[in-house]
Structure 1
């Protein structure tokens, strides 16, 4: 035991001295190992610090209060909830019985003796330096002790008067205002003065203003009704402070009144699962990560960590090998003085241990320092403040051990190789005759065949992505194992090359111990890039084929769905002024109820309309009654498939802009912008007829009915019973367009004059535009600025056709692979120069010009990069093809199952192409090796340092 300790202690001292002597090589290996450790440790610290404890989370949601009471959203019916208050459900569900109208009186659930603080939120468009900004308005007495921790004051003070507000820092940055500025809401005469700036610790990017309770939202809602604007939706919760806290029994009592509670006491000490009624409810299955999912996640993390360690070992291994060769005389002296092979191995392994330990310390320390220093930047990027700076010593120790293990693994092969060298060869500097390993290539070939078979099985038979990925990984490791033999095969091409590349290739083949790992590292990086690029290019081709334009190419739509369209004229003019407009078609929409209602408003005086489908034209698949609530249940798959092809049931796949009810109010210019050439339709519009592009709404008399629904809730109840929804029906003479033209979401078109004659109320909706050329980026930016100044919620769309989203991704992947390739090739070249210094001096001695040194260095780097890129490109296509084949078979199976069950109308089969990214491959195959060679040649000195004559 003592001998073992002393021998390893001596080995570590020798390794530490050598590492300090050869600082350049040591720093290179240390940096390669420390950088991933820095990244992982910083990620661990960031993740742990961003995870809030229960106390920290409660401080942000409850402040210093004991509970928050909120309406359940199900009316006043009793509910069940989970201990956190994040999930709730009605205690007794009845699908045939709607929830009661009206909200829940939360005050009935407030215990006697509790202190109460209301917290109300709504939205309003507030004036800024640039126009209007949709902003969240919060009425909360922020300086109340109960609210401490919910809002963090940064400057000034919270409001103390009814005409004062505090604002978030993000609102100030967005609005251009400052403390002391005045702000008001659109259509609201009252002005408020900004007295302070605060932030929401969990939502740093929120635009919010804070006012005293009752100082803003109530008066603003009345002003909005008076001005015909959309009224804000206000939600109010109640914060409570009471002696003894809000217990679980009190929570269940509040649930009986339709109130959901977030309780501090319950969150800190949750009840047993058997005491939670929600979890005992039939059919309730709270989401929990399955053991299989956790195992798969751990396997994925382990795979990523393992591949990262393999990559580092492949890059660092040659450095240890060259270091061992540079120290072979010293190792020979160890053997000459009685040291055996295990002592030689211990010295080389100690080099990996020393550098790995140093990398662990440096990487972990830098991770701590950088994370702490960059914490504000990380918080701003994530959009929320961290909790405490959470350091988990055991996790950081585990990450640091990865560095030590990586250093040891990288030194294993050089240690074994050095220990096998004879003492005489080490002392004389002779390399001896080394035979290539014939077993390793055979093992690699077997792994390639096995991995390819597994990937083929996964893609053709099992349809499991995991099987394909696992088989591809095995095949790639097999290629890595075959790399030394493949490098030898590349060497046979040297006979056709000029002098410098021939020498570089011969040197790479002769010194496979440092060439093969560098080539394998390049191979692994390029294979991953090619796999992702191939999959991305294939998916890109699929999305391009599936893309459905929302408008004709170059057309523009600008719609405003709120406030009764009061800003529509200004938006129409702005678009026409700033974009290259060829034709403008103004459109309106039908409005039911108050003119200030938005498209999505329901209730509170806001209604809707629909095109009436005659009974004879209703699709049997969609007709549900009280006697037959599920018509599909009584039909066979063959009957469903047959009916799905019926014209009454055939749904249009015509993608387009959203049009409420499918009816637009406009003239014949709409047809021209949409590219519909139908003279009969233009004549019908001129005659005051409604032009419809779908057949079901047209009845036997050639008319189309428009039902005006003033009470949407009653209409829903009638549909559930299978009866006609209540509402006035306006019948208009109709013209059915022929040829089923592409209408981009427009089902019907009616002129403003015809709508007025029929008694329909309309409001401005927006416009459709055709352009004489595609709008440029500068024009779009000017338009966006103009629309932002107007402050309206404009739904703007410019149809540019399919726009690739993978271009920047493929470029980033190519750059990444290029950097790794150049880095690995550069490392191999630097080690080659250090290892072959004697050969270079021999070249100079026999009369080789100085540029040969630079040229040889460039070709050495280029040869390594070229071999790795060629092998990696071949290895990377396999997993991508396997994944695409698997995805294609899976989608085909879904398609066939849908047809077998009667769904679908026999449309086109799934299209899952396999596309090779030739541009990316060409960049990797040509540009990367060439760039690596040129860079290596530029940074290499033409003349080496003079050396002393070796002692004989």
Structure 2
């Protein structure tokens, strides 16, 4: 009896069995050589761990939720007129505010608030820490600062009421209030969740509207963008490591091809390594980052003024960061894998490296990305977040693609150098893939340091300029509100204003100020109070609101304060308003400006030129008494302008800020640049240290790859000085190339960023740039010379693959 068996034809290329065999071999190679990849593993783990902590901080940063809850609009109405709003919007959350409770020893006070702890939109704004919620008109609950100010405990009687509990706003720990029924509210905040057309299309008499238009994911996006730069840095080091690994395994890969493996199988070996290393590094980093966040997040509650749920991390962005790390490792392995797969079998068995690819192909794409990044920064106007992120990332990737051109340029200088340096530079050009990745990593580290140093130089130059900026160097503005004129200005009685003036006079005495000028703003007299204060009018240029097609908004950078031309200010600046004048200003016209925080209507003021100082926060636009009357505005004090006999020092400004903060003021002064200068020194030192670390890792990889050449030189009688010179020249050339290309890209980016004030870049920070462009190459050369030169233990024996 005979049996015929139909044999299944083999799949092309070996099919799944061949891929499994290759993957098993790759896994065994990884287990044997994982120590050689520990640098890449560590960099990926650190990048993901830092990103995890950064995402936690970004997700728990103070936000508009402390005032809006889950609503997107607040309608503030005088009295208790909410029936019409309930009929219009259906579900609403009402928060009634009574007269403020005077605080002992302060002219401020505590908010008296009537809010439902189970409200549909505001429940996240209340938390019970001790006791129970108040019920009825005879019970209240207080925050910790109120309890401390009046010496209260749960169960005490206070103002004919019983304190039943301690409460807080977990989203804003600085929000101090008394929670209880308010019979006759001064004003009412109504939280609604609706569309903009419906809110603005159904106005109520006397109501003011506050909208919540912030992008809740902007902070996470910014963290992910910074993480991307960090992962690009790690990916560059990974690409250099995988290039060396591919060269080291070239004989084994050649044997794999000789027994029938296809190009796809050879690529799979290194790609599997990249996947395993990326997954191990990403998961390890995520675990370390989550553990660090759980351990240290409670310590962030006080500085962030925000209760933090340590187990509530933004998991979706975190998974994105883990995925980015894995993709980074796989992409870093792809190019060396592609080059190894294309190497002919005979050349692979001979361990002969593939000739470098022409650098101009990378240069063309790099130049295009650089132009795109610079254009995005040019158009960002310092406010368009997406363009800023695109510009930063495109410039960073362009730096990566331009690195091979710099390596090729370094190779062209070899013929003019001594023998040892010539060998080192030609080795860099010969192994361009690995050298380009290392050069790009150094350039990225140097570029970050140069960005901080040059930006700090701009700040220092502005501080030293005799004109321009926010205020003169000898002046300080003491604002009634910490938010200056962009926030709510408290309404003070005559007695309270006198107390505030006495505190300002004491502060002026500390600064030896020669004069104290009262600054007066203008506000709508019939606008409802916002927590005891009013919003004063300012000028603003409307611009498209991000994420709101067809709508406009106003950025703080493009607002101009509007003061009242009081007799005191007019005398100080030598002004004489003519009859019929509405505005005194140094500006030629006010075309394009809107008058914000007033009732809508025509804005066509009669202007009179005035010789006012050219600063952004001091008076440049003054409303006359006629202008106040015509616009239906009322005058109210907003702060004081203090003038000292000479430029104020950083120590004087620090003391003034501390004294003003204790009194509830906000202080604005001209930046001295001292903090920025210290930051520049720290950033430069850190950048140089990181670049030296990259050099140490890279030069180690390069010298291990060229160990055969070193053995040949040693056998031919090369002295220790020659070996030292080769290593030193390698380190010095990479350091100089990275410093030049990184600083050049940063200068181009800052030219686009400061396009309206390019002249400030003419004051570079010479010490920091000298440390980067001169100090880094010299230290790298000296370090390479000192740490090299040891003769190889085995000269004649070739290590096995």
**Relative to structure 1, is the Cα distance of residues 349 and 916 closer, same or farther in structure 2, using a 3 angstrom cutoff?**
farther
TM-score (norm 1): 0.57
How do 1:239-638 and structure 2 match up within 5 A? 261-262=190-191, 277-278=198-199, 280=201, 310-386=232-308, 389-390=311-312, 396-428=318-350, 430-431=351-352, 434-438=354-358, 441-447=359-365, 480-481=400-401, 483-494=403-414, 497=417, 501-527=421-447, 530=450, 544=465, 547=468, 554=474, 563-566=496-499, 572=505, 576=509, 581=512, 611=567, 617-619=579-581
**What residue ranges of structure 2 are gaps of 5+ in the alignment?**
1-10, 481-491, 521-531, 535-563, 585-599
Residue 873 of structure 1 corresponds to which residue in structure 2?
743
Displacement of 1:767 in angstroms is 10
Displacement of 1:48 in angstroms is 6.0
**Relative to structure 1, is the Cα distance of residues 340 and 145 closer, same or farther in structure 2, using a 3 angstrom cutoff?**
closer
Residue 17 of structure 1 corresponds to which residue in structure 2?
28
Displacement of 1:354 in angstroms is 1.4
Equivalent pair of 1:448/1:476 in contact (CA under 8 Å):
no
In 2, distance between residues paired with 1:472 and 1:69? Answer: 36
Question: 68, 78, 82: which is aligned to 1:73?
Answer: 78
Tell me whether 1:864 sits opposite 2:734 in the alignment: yes
Displacement of 1:320 in angstroms is 0.8
Secondary structure, aligned partner of 2:78: coil
The number of equivalent residue pairs is: 701
In 1, distance between residues paired with 2:57 and 2:644? Answer: 50
Question: 905, 917, 929: which is aligned to 2:777?
Answer: 929
Displacement of 1:355 in angstroms is 1.0
**Relative to structure 1, is the Cα distance of residues 621 and 408 closer, same or farther in structure 2, using a 3 angstrom cutoff?**
closer
Equivalent pair of 1:356/1:404 in contact (CA under 8 Å):
yes
Equivalent pair of 1:534/1:917 in contact (CA under 8 Å):
yes
In 2, distance between residues paired with 1:49 and 1:589? Answer: 37
Secondary structure, aligned partner of 1:321: helix
**Relative to structure 1, is the Cα distance of residues 10 and 43 closer, same or farther in structure 2, using a 3 angstrom cutoff?**
farther
Equivalent pair of 2:411/2:426 in contact (CA under 8 Å):
yes
Equivalent pair of 2:254/2:346 in contact (CA under 8 Å):
yes
**Relative to structure 1, is the Cα distance of residues 929 and 356 closer, same or farther in structure 2, using a 3 angstrom cutoff?**
same
**Relative to structure 1, is the Cα distance of residues 808 and 133 closer, same or farther in structure 2, using a 3 angstrom cutoff?**
farther
Deviations 1:340-387 (A, max 9, x none): 333222112211121122223223333333333333234444322246
Displacement of 1:319 in angstroms is 0.5
In 2, distance between residues paired with 1:336 and 1:200? Answer: 71
Displacement of 1:475 in angstroms is 8.0
In 2, distance between residues paired with 1:546 and 1:422? Answer: 68
In 2, distance between residues paired with 1:845 and 1:871? Answer: 37
Tell me whether 1:915 sits opposite 2:785 in the alignment: no
Q: Considering only aligned residues, what root-mean-square deviation do their CA atoms show, in Å?
A: 6.3
Residue 833 of structure 1 corresponds to which residue in structure 2?
703
In 1, distance between residues paired with 2:389 and 2:118? Answer: 57
In 2, distance between residues paired with 1:943 and 1:917? Answer: 45
Secondary structure, aligned partner of 2:102: strand
Displacement of 1:923 in angstroms is 2.9
Tell me whether 1:5 sits opposite 2:44 in the alignment: no
Equivalent pair of 1:50/1:387 in contact (CA under 8 Å):
no
Equivalent pair of 2:141/2:165 in contact (CA under 8 Å):
yes
Deviations 1:532-591 (A, max 9, x none): 76577568757847526756x556788998625257668756764x56x4x86689999x
Displacement of 1:831 in angstroms is 0.8
In 2, distance between residues paired with 1:571 and 1:277? Answer: 45
Q: Which is higher, the Rg of structure 1 or of structure 2?
A: 1
Residue 49 of structure 2 corresponds to which residue in structure 1?
38
In 2, distance between residues paired with 1:571 and 1:285? Answer: 33
Equivalent pair of 2:62/2:171 in contact (CA under 8 Å):
no
In 1, distance between residues paired with 2:749 and 2:477? Answer: 43
TM-score (norm 2): 0.66
In 2, distance between residues paired with 1:915 and 1:615? Answer: 40
In 1, distance between residues paired with 2:375 and 2:70? Answer: 52
